[in-house]
Amino acid sequence: MNANNPIVLIGGSGLGPWAWDRVTPLLTDHGFESVTPRLRTTGGDATPAEAVDLDAWVEDVCEVLSDLTEATLVAHSFAGYVAAGVLERQPHSVRRLIFIDAILPRPNKSWFDVMGSGVATFMTGLAQDGAIPWFTREQLDQLYPGHGISDADFAWMGPRLAGQPIATYTQAAIKEPLTADAVRAAYVRCLVTNPPVEDVSTEQLGWDYRTLATGHWPMVTHPEETAQVIMELAGS
């Protein structure tokens, strides 16, 4: 594949390329080429979860980017860890980085390190065959009130969701802090996510900042608005 200025879309925990199916046609209609990498264990990939860690996912994205030019990398939720790892290892491949309601990694800290031992212990206890299953409907409603995922959305997502390999939560993504010098970055906060995933100080970071009046999965619940903010930032 050889493409100039593509938009590379990575979903958060449990998601695969399919998560962007409502967004990519809108990007295409406006002349943008989109790429949705299939990371190991996602999108029907049969790699056992026990064999997958954060480094594996970073490698998967780096391999896709090696065939692209001047890519805009879009990272949703946990994919912020993946994107930051890609940026540190292969900075020349990324022209623009867009975090959508994403968790921003801290240097030399895993996701479990940042979230704390209580969360790590709880989630490890949920693991099945090396992966943490996605939310039940009851868990989703309790943890993300106002998420906006309808019963029809949930039914569509259900057979496509995959457990998150637990080792992706145990590795640090970066060694150095994310800075405005590394790449032209932007943060898109989903306003209905409460508490916020990140308390982002864009003035301090020197990043562009946008908001969406949505829950945490806007590519599912509000694809038009999600496509619009991606196109605006990718084209700037």
For residue 5, what pLDDT is reported? Answer: 80
Helix axes 79-89, 54-65, angle to 10 degrees: 60
Q: How many CB atoms lie within 10 A of CB 70?
A: 13
Number of domains in the chain: 1
- Pair 75, 10: CB distance under 8 Å: yes
Q: What is the pLDDT of residues 180-192, one digit of tens each?
A: 676 789 999 999 9
DSSP secondary structure code for residue 78 in this structure: T
pLDDT one-digit tens code per residue, 133-188: 999 999 999 989 999 999 999 999 999 999 999 999 999 999 998 876 767 899 99
What CATH code is carried by the domain that includes residue 10? 3.40.50.1820
Q: How are strands ordered across the β-sheet holding 71-76?
A: 34-35, 7-10, 71-76, 94-100, 184-190, 208-212
Q: Given phi > 0 = left and psi -120 to 50 = alpha, else beta, which region is 98?
A: beta
What is the residue-wise DSSP string for 193-231? SSS-S----HHHHT-EEEEESS-S-HHHH-HHHHHHHHH
Beta strands in 135-183 (DSSP E): 164-165
CB 135 within 8 A of CB 164: no
Q: What is the Cα–Cα distance from 200 to 151, expressed in whole angstroms?
A: 31
Q: What is the domain extent for residue 49?
A: 3-234
pLDDT tens, residue by residue, 30-66: 999 999 999 999 999 999 999 999 999 999 999 999 9
DSSP state of 70: S
Per-residue pLDDT band for 97 (boundaries 50, 70, 90) equals very high
